Amino acid sequence: MKSLAIKNDIYWVGALDPNLRTFDIIMHTPFGTTYNSYVVKGSEKTCLFETVKAEFFDQYIERLESLSIDIHNIDYIVVDHTEPDHAGSVAKILELSPNASVIGSATAIKFLNAIVNKDFKSIIVNDGDEISLGNKTLKFISAPFLHWPDSMYTYIPEDKLLFTCDSFGSHYCFEDVFNDKIQNEDEYLSSLRYYFDCIIGPFKPYVLKAIDKIEGLNIDVICPGHGPILRENPWKIVNLYRTWSTPVKSDKLIVTIPYVSAYGYTEQLAKSISEGIKSAGNIEVRLFNVTHSNIEDILTSINESKGLLFGSPTILGDLLEPIRDLLAKLNPVIHGGKLAGGFGSYGWSGEAVPRIESRLKELKMEVFSPGLKVNFKPSESDLEKAHQFGFNFAEILLGNKPLSSFKNINNVYRNEKSNTNNNKKELKLWKCLVCGEIFEGYEPPEICPVCGADKDQFVEVKKEVISFSKDTSENFVIIGNGAAGFYAAKAIRERNKSCCIILISKEKISSYYRPQLSDLLSEPINEDDFYIESKKWYKENNINELLGVEVTSIDEKSNLITLSNGEKINYNKLILANGSYNFIPPTKTSKGEEINSLNYDKVKGVHTIKYLTDVESIKKDIDSSNNAVIIGGGLLGLEAANEIEKSINNVTVVEFSSRLLPRQLDLEGSKLFESIAANSKVSLMLGELCDEIIVDENNKVISIKLKSGKTLPCDLLIFSVGIRSNLDLAKSINLNSNRGIIVNNKMETSLSNIYACGDVSELNGIVYGNWPAAIEMGKVAGANAAGDNLEFKGFVSSVTFNGLDCEIFSAGTVNFDDETLEQLSFKDILNNKYSKLFFKDSNLIGGILINNSSTAGKIITGIAEGYSKSDCINEKLI
């Protein structure tokens, strides 16, 4: 069989394998398959698309030569996907044509290096990039996880032709190759659906995302990697993919409970758990006894479920094989993020439940832990606990309670005496080394409710003994009730029991944990964890909150402030903790208007994230949005993208810098993070910025134009490009200011009796702009305003990030371009783990951890105490 012409100078040169009956070990192929490869002859360059399986290489070369293709002078080889059935012959082609450049995604080139095992020329392309062949243009479309993380599409606009590799393909072999030549349509559609279910089906969200990207293209022909070329009504197949990938909407949440039961004990638990779940609300529970159920039915139900509970008794110190095998069929890409847990009966040991939990953690699920373990046959009391276990599980699914609220309560399932024992323990104070918050409890929190650090990052601290005390009738006025303002008020009251403290905020709610705002984009508020203190605390400490008002002026000579409601308040000491605002660079709209930090809300669909009201506004828009763009790839922008992606398929981050997190990561760490993030559902565009906002007749954003000229569809636009200190009040009274209000290490400003702290302040040229610094600055400002003598010193700035399939910790203030820095590093590239410590003058000044945060707390301590290299090694910081 010779090559086949598809369009002008575009040919099929693949291979037929009609006798294949098993593909990739697991797929049944009664109609054989094809290994489709294509050649495109441009007026200036020649390009191959994919290659063939290595065993068909000789006939592949014959087809190329029949087209007068000089196999020794190929210009480009496009690998839309590097699986060996597509890229298996690349190494042989490169031997014949060593000057050819391989074109692929960053992940594809990385994979191909490990397949070819020798150096070759390569061109890494990103979404929207183009390469000219002369009279034909290759336009590349990122389409990851269809079905590998490396996959992409290539579009030739001049010929209205799209190369899709595994997408829209089938294991269906016949000599005519084109779909309009198919003799048995039913056989083909059956093969198409089977292929989709086995290969593409596990990645349905990515299918929809890819279809959205090609929706507006003029396409006559689709060239897949297997099966017929789609030249007759290709959109029919695309729309079938859309239908098969679109989730079936249901009014009910679904929980799947697969279990095995040797003597019926675990089954009894499963049924009681099921009843507990259903008693909590409108939830459909699907029970599967795995030994008597079709495994495909279970897997389908798991894919449709928000919650999963796996049950197994313990036999010979392990969980039973049917549950182990079922868990082995799941993967973190598709099933990560689901709420899941384990339960089971046991005899003389109980390893099944922790082994289930261990696998769930590997799958990156939200683990409802500890699970439920019952010794032998469950009693009535045990069944009541199982019912409560199910009810608690459902409360999390319904959004009534956060997962963290059950971290400790579930211990009652294992040891009823635990609460009694705790009553005999002494309450302790636990400080999170990452964010600086202090919590009271018998044990440290499993997860810090402020920054998300785990239990290992807490240290016990002794209760602060405050020796200074001065009770007066002074008026202390604090402008701003963020972390700095709240802790300033608290520090004053700890030293002065009789003074008047007034805490003013333009927000209408009490002080809350602002780092939680990004999380709230995808989950409801849990008021127990959201607010720093209850209303009762303010009343008991006689702290007067004035909420929903702004300070419009300060008369520093008369010690008088004026509020937006006209009220005037005298003060003896004034603390400015009025924070910062989110900066929006002046940006024009398609109507010729310019938006900025003050008027951005004139355009519908444009947001920033600073206050709870911002989150509420974004969540309203999320429901009607299909394409979200975040301008700014810093920590807050990436956190927002990570949360919004849970509700919107198409999320893109646009970052001006050529790399991610340049202030938190060195170049090597940034590259690793980018490679990990590239495999997430969020698209990244580096070295770009928003040049224009395209709006419709209702002044609603519909797309944005980038500086490069590219246009992105966008109906939800979030700016996260940095903060600016709120300096209007300070400047009105001529306080010394630069980027922030200039303060000394006592938080004193240039005017007596006026202090500043938090984001609004600048110390030694630094505006810290983070939660831990705001806490410590607030404490110092409040203490000194009360008459004590404290200094802000020894502070170690640190940040954490957990999203886009990556966990990052960075501490210290490091100039990564400083060539005099000494370094200690550890790299486990296979598992995407990276640790690096930075030293200046032999002292530890900074540290980076990627996917390996167990030593974060130690690093903060090491920086504060100036550890040497030997200290770091001895303390196992790396």
Residues 453 and 483 in one domain: no
Residues 53-111 pLDDT 10s: 888 999 899 999 999 999 999 999 999 989 877 777 899 999 999 999 999 998 889 88
The CA distance from 519 to 539, in Å, is 29
Pairing state of beta strands 283-289 and 253-259? parallel
pLDDT computed for residue 471 by the predictor: 96
The CA distance from 522 to 402, in Å, is 12
Instruction: Pick the closest to residue 765 from 734, 801, 791, 736 (CA basis).
Output: 736
Residues 227 and 261 in one domain: no
Q: Is residue 804 part of a domain?
A: no
For the chain, how many residues are written? Answer: 878
Residues 540-567 pLDDT 10s: 999 999 999 999 999 999 999 999 999 9
- Using the 8-state DSSP alphabet, how is residue 839 labeled? E
The CA distance from 780 to 713, in Å, is 47
Tokens in use for 313? 């008794």
* Residue, of 796 and 5, whose pLDDT is higher: 5
The CA distance from 709 to 61, in Å, is 40
Residues 162 and 31 in one domain: yes
H or E element: which one contains 574? Answer: strand 573-576
Q: Is residue 701 part of a domain?
A: yes
Residues 255-302 pLDDT 10s: 999 999 988 999 999 999 999 999 999 999 999 999 999 988 999 899
Residues paired with 635 in a beta bridge:
none
- Per-residue b/e over 831-870, b at no fewer than 16 CB within 10 Å? ebebbbbbbbeebbbbbbbbbbbebbbbbbbbbbeebebe
* Mean pLDDT of all residues in 716-743: 96
pLDDT computed for residue 416 by the predictor: 35
Residues 54 and 99 in one domain: yes
Q: Is residue 797 part of a domain?
A: no
Compute how many other C-beta atoms are within 10 angstroms of the C-beta atom of residue 22: 9
Give the strands of the sheet with 438-441, arranged side by side.
Answer: 438-441, 428-432, 458-461
pLDDT computed for residue 406 by the predictor: 65
The CA distance from 454 to 461, in Å, is 17
Q: Is residue 466 part of a domain?
A: no
pLDDT at 386 over 50: yes
Pairing state of beta strands 500-505 and 221-224? unpaired
| Lowest mean pLDDT across 94-103, 333-342, 572-581, 695-704 | 333-342
* Mean pLDDT of all residues in 800-811: 88
Per DSSP, the residues of 52-93 read: --GGGHHHHHHHHHHTT--GGG--EEE-S---HHHHTTHHHH
* Residue, of 674 and 88, whose pLDDT is higher: 674
Q: Is residue 397 part of a domain?
A: yes
Q: Of 213, 245, 277, which residue constitutes the final position of a domain? A: 245
Task: Mention every residue, 6+ apart, whose C-beta is less than 8 A from residue 216.
Answer: none
Instruction: Show the domain range for 831.
Output: 814-874
Contact between residue 468 and residue 787 where contact means Cβ atoms under 8 Å apart? yes
Residues 413-451 pLDDT 10s: 333 333 334 444 566 788 887 777 787 777 777 677 777
Task: Mention every residue, 6+ apart, whose C-beta is less than 8 A from residue 321.
Answer: none
Instruction: Find the farthest-apart pair of alpha carbons in the chain and give their distance in angstroms, rounded.
Output: 98
Pairing state of beta strands 806-812 and 798-803? antiparallel
Residues 416 and 429 in one domain: no
The CA distance from 142 to 151, in Å, is 7
Q: Is residue 115 part of a domain?
A: yes
Q: Is residue 748 part of a domain?
A: yes
pLDDT computed for residue 1 by the predictor: 67
The pLDDT > 90 percentage for the chain reads 68
Q: Which amino acid appears at position 716 of this protein?
A: L
Pairing state of beta strands 101-104 and 121-124? parallel
The pLDDT > 70 percentage for the chain reads 96
Q: Which amino acid appears at position 355 of this protein?
A: R
Q: What is the count of structural domains for the chain? A: 6
Residues 770 and 821 in one domain: no
Task: Mention every residue, 6+ apart, whose C-beta is less than 8 A from residue 132.
Answer: 42, 44, 45, 138
Residues 1-52 pLDDT 10s: 689 999 999 999 999 999 998 887 668 899 999 999 999 999 999 999 998 8
| Lowest mean pLDDT across 165-174, 432-441, 584-593, 795-804 | 432-441
Burial class (CB in 10 A: 0-12, 13-18, 19+), 473: exposed
* Mean pLDDT of all residues in 816-834: 87
Residues 596 and 646 in one domain: yes
Helices (H) and strands (E) in the chain, counts: 24, 52
Q: Of 438, 461, 484, which residue constitutes the final position of a domain? A: 461
Residues 48 and 13 in one domain: yes
Q: Of 208, 225, 245, which residue constitutes the final position of a domain? A: 245
Residues 658 and 776 in one domain: no
CATH assignment of the domain containing 508: 3.50.50.60
Instruction: Pick the closest to residue 603 from 702, 476, 534 (CA basis).
Output: 702
Query: At which residue do the structure tokens 């224009």 appear?
Result: 692
Instruction: Pick the closest to residue 835 from 844, 843, 459, 682 (CA basis).
Output: 844
Residues 510 and 559 in one domain: yes
The CA distance from 564 to 549, in Å, is 6
Mean pLDDT taken over the chain? 90
Contact between residue 695 and residue 591 where contact means Cβ atoms under 8 Å apart? yes
Looking at the whole model, is its pTM more than 0.85?
no
Q: Is residue 802 part of a domain?
A: no
Most confident of 121-135, 329-343, 436-450: 121-135
Residues 777 and 711 in one domain: no
- Using the 8-state DSSP alphabet, how is residue 690 labeled? E
CATH assignment of the domain containing 306: 3.40.50.360
Alpha-carbon radius of gyration of the chain: 31
Q: Which amino acid appears at position 321 of this protein?
A: E
Phi and psi torsions of 593, nearest 5°: -80, 160
pLDDT computed for residue 426 by the predictor: 62
CATH assignment of the domain containing 93: 3.60.15.10
Q: Which amino acid appears at position 680 of this protein?
A: S
Residues 393 and 449 in one domain: no
pLDDT at 657 over 80: yes
Residues 731-756 pLDDT 10s: 999 999 999 999 999 999 999 999 99
Instruction: Pick the closest to residue 655 from 665, 622, 647, 520 (CA basis).
Output: 665
pLDDT computed for residue 202 by the predictor: 80
